[in-house]
Amino acid sequence: MITGTARDADAGITVEVAPGGSLQDLTFDQRSLRLSGERLAEAVLRLVETATARADQRVRHEFGLGEAELTALGIGGDTELAENTTPDTWRV
């Protein structure tokens, strides 16, 4: 399975997503537990966005797809897609 990963070492957060931004794994360590709720939410959303762009790029590269083909699959290489796949209820 193709996934994308992003990590914030300072905050102790790691995320893994599938192409399109579906969350596959979310890991926190002791550092992340010291963050405020707002800071934690912002960090997770930023990491999901980064990991999504990486997963989408891997799909593009591995399958030799162009932008139109990725769009047809509901996958894009931009941050707008990551925003659209994150539920509003997760936002601060």
Give the pTM.
Answer: 0.77
Note the maximum CA span of the chain: 43
At residue 88 the predicted structure's pLDDT band, cuts being 50, 70 and 90, is low
For residue 87, what are the β-bridge partners?
A: none
Tens digits of per-residue pLDDT, 40-82? 999 999 999 999 999 998 988 888 888 888 777 778 755 444 4
